Amino acid sequence: MLYDRFPVFSEPINLYIPRLNIYQLEIKFTMSTLDPSVREKIEQWLSGSYDDDTKSSIRTMLDNEQYSELTDAFYKDLEFGTGGLRGIMGVGSNRVNKYTFGIATQGLSNFLKKTYPGEKLKVAIAHDCRNNSDTLAKVVADVFSANGIYVYFFEGLRPTPELSFAIRELGCQSGVVLTASHNPKEYNGYKAYGPDGGQYVAPYDKMVMEEVRKIETVDEVKFDGNEALIEKIGEELDNKYLDELVKLSVSKEAIKRQHDLSIVFSPIHGTGGVLVPPVLERYGFTNVTLVEEQMVVDGNFPTVVYPNPEEKEALTMAMNKAKEIDAELVMATDPDSDRIGIAVKDDKGEWVLFNGNMTGTLIINYMLTAWKEAGKLKGKEYIVKTIVTSYLIDRIAESYGVECYNTLTGFKFIGQLITKFKGEKEFIAGGEESYGYLIGEHVRDKDAIISAAIIAEMAAYYKDNGSSLFEALLEMYVEHGFFKERLVSVTKKGKTGAEEIQQMMADFRSEPPATLGGTKVAVLKDYQTSEEKNLETGEVTKIDLPKSNVLQFVTEDGSIISARPSGTEPKIKFYCSVNGTLESTDQYHSKDAEMDAKIDAILKDLGV
């Protein structure tokens, strides 16, 4: 309470009360500098059923006149989107804490009880290495169990793809993993999954969101858990999951001959350390060096700026180790092990990082090659990618007579297609440019554990054929076309940042660029309106995908530039893809520089 901050006086109570009233007036005067809606939220939290530590933190921020921080923490509710929640940890309605996660779980519990009346409800819960993930996961388990829902609770940190596997294996109706993926250490998140092991898609995603929105106060959340309904799981499920991954190996003989391929692996302090070393061992690799400093589980990620395998800095320690021991392959996974980054030696013996498109196209090309050699292509196979992922994959699939489907950004849409085609067609592999891939149908989310195994197998396969991953990349460009992509993210934090991003998209829609990189824009694809417009003829055709706030500009020479606000971070992302021909591998570096210059020109025209 507010009077807790005053000394205890010996005066009669009628003298003490005016002092309290004066203090309350001072607080109200201070609060008047904040937006009325923010003041109202703060007052609700100070007077509501929140713990004393939470209220004390809010009062300290008021005393220190941290108005900007208070505004960001309370100007809105942390939105439960189609993939769950993600945000900065702290007090407030727009922060990750036991109350925002409790409300999300109560809403999900209400949805499950309405959707599966009379059934025994079961959920699985996993978490990664982030600060507070273990305690927040227990809060989530308690709320589910307090609602009479049986909980399978991983005994320690586990990768996100294993959570997807657990839901399917244990016959759960839902599941939750606590992770903020590759975001900075201040973040945490909550991802909700359906019975197929994929993140919720329409119409269920909206139904869950609606139930969460119906929770008006924290008093509606059942926080008192029922331990009798919480079962710890761990090693037994790990082994079942790993058994499924081993079945996906295609080039077993090549691995036997190249088992001593020198590999350096880092989990960047996260969950990859639990299952990547065992899967590589089961595949038969005997020369794996771990980056021991980054095998330490730590949500502060002390050895990197960001735990993001897309960033060179995050792989620096692993590459230094690779140089020290003269390794052949570097791999690193993000904290929840759904994304993976790799580095290899180029034709000059220098270590280079592959971007997500390079690795993804190599995986698809390898899998199709290996499946063809093994006689496994029967005419019903398919692969899936997103609309912002390299269209080189489409070309490769076409050359093998395999269907390639394009989905909106978000792996849940890839998972949705796998579930849809189950029993009709066979999914080989798929992925997205943001370093997330899946091989096989054992889960419905991107999986860096199986990706690590297949990337290592791929390296062994090409080495067995007298080549390398870098040389295989160049040969692929010669055969199918040279595609180069670049992603640029523009960060806009807080309320004003969100408004700026909205305005940027509005401006692009009202006045799309006439030319990009010196080439005329021929087609505008607006996934928000589901319309594709030929800018020369004015012809409009329908885009047969769910609506999404994405714009694509297609130039006359085949360049594709996409603009998309991130759904999980305060960013707007620009995806640039250019392409051409590569006559021979020795032309690679000059052609690469040429394409870099073209992308630079495109970004300049976009003003980013």
Catalytic annotation, pick one of 181, 468, 559, 562: 181
Arithmetic mean of pLDDT over the chain? 93
Strands (E), 210-287: 230-233, 263-266
CA distances (Å), origin 260, targets 43, 137, 245, 460, 597: 63, 39, 20, 9, 40
What is the share, in percent, of the chain residues with pLDDT greater than 90? 89
Of 238, 164, 224, the closest CA to residue 200 belongs to: 164
Q: How far, in Å, CA of 127 to CA of 336, rounded? A: 8
Residue 37 catalytic?
no
Report, as an integer, the average pLDDT of 493-501.
84
Report, as an integer, the average pLDDT of 483-494.
90
pLDDT at 288 over 90: yes
- If one compares 22 and 524, the residue with the highest pLDDT of the two is 524
Q: How far, in Å, CA of 189 to CA of 198, rounded? A: 16
> What is the pLDDT at residue 81?
82
Backbone φ and ψ of 36, nearest 5°: -55, -40
Number of residues in the chain: 608
Q: How far, in Å, CA of 479 to CA of 75, rounded? A: 53
Contacts of 365 (CB under 8 A, 6+ apart): 396, 472, 476, 480
Tens digit of each residue's pLDDT (9 = 90 or more) over 503-523? 999 999 999 999 999 999 999
- Which domains does the chain carry? 2-74 (no CATH), 84-233 (3.40.120.10), 254-480 (3.40.120.10), 482-606 (3.30.310)
pLDDT at 206 over 60: yes
Count of CA atoms in the C-beta half-sphere (13 A) of 580: 15
Report, as an integer, the average pLDDT of 383-392.
97
pLDDT at 20 over 50: no
CB count within 10 Å of CB 36 equals 9
> What is the pLDDT at residue 80?
87
Tens digit of each residue's pLDDT (9 = 90 or more) over 312-354? 999 999 999 999 999 999 999 999 999 999 999 999 999 999 9
pLDDT at 269 over 60: yes
Report, as an integer, the average pLDDT of 25-37.
66
Report, as an integer, the average pLDDT of 214-231.
97
Q: How far, in Å, CA of 20 to CA of 23, rounded? A: 5
Q: How far, in Å, CA of 55 to CA of 61, rounded? A: 10
Report pTM.
0.91
CA distances (Å), origin 390, targets 328, 396, 412, 515: 26, 11, 18, 21
> What is the pLDDT at residue 33?
78
Tens digit of each residue's pLDDT (9 = 90 or more) over 110-160? 999 999 999 999 999 999 999 999 999 999 999 999 999 999 999 999 999
How remote is the C-alpha of 586 from its chain's centroid? 36
Using alpha carbons only, what angle is made at residue 545 by residues 544 and 547, rounded to the nearest 5 degrees? Answer: 120
- CB-CB contact of 128 with 191 (8 Å): no
pLDDT at 19 over 70: no
